[in-house]
Amino acid sequence: MPKKSAGVLLYRYEAGNLLVLLVHPGGPFWMNRDLGAWSIPKGEYDADEEPEAAARREFLEETGIAITGPLEFLGEERQKGGKLVTAYAHESEFDVASLRSNVFETEWPPRSGRMQVFPEVDRAGWFTLEEARSKISVSQRPFIDRLEASRNANRSAGSAS
């Protein structure tokens, strides 16, 4: 059974442009990586937890902010390692300076016997869709595409009224 993960792609509009919030993984492995390293705030969940509940929990754990209100289902994508990621979208503001992530402990440097604590997420940023597509892990790009299609469809429907 593949591992499962769920998360939220937060979005907002600024001067008419659709922006999405991505997070950069913390820890020494990701320290000097940028393009293709960013992600939606997400994390693993067990069979006894619903994906939407897990997405809300993980967003809180990785950003320090609780999401209230409805989430829009963006589908599922399989990552290179086999993990199945379920994503949701939610429109909201978020001040990236207020980022508060949970932490993890790992031996660093390797085989040193020294344990160090690192934030699970070391930074967050708002990106245009074009920027986000270059920053986000390739396996998560379809979530951006689906969000864009959904927002365009909603705008078209709104202007048709």
**Phi and psi at residue 139, in whole multiples of 5°?**
-70, -15
On whether the pTM is more than 0.85, the answer is: yes
What is the Cα–Cα distance from 9 to 12, expressed in whole angstroms? 10
First to last CA, the chain: 46
3-state secondary structure of 53: helix
Going residue by residue through the chain, which has 161 residues, state the pLDDT in tens, using 9 for 90 and above.
789 999 999 999 999 999 999 999 999 989 889 999 999 999 999 999 999 999 999 999 999 999 999 999 999 999 988 999 999 999 999 999 999 999 999 999 999 999 999 999 999 999 999 999 999 999 999 999 999 999 988 777 766 55
Domains present along the chain, CATH in parentheses: 4-160 (3.90.79.10)
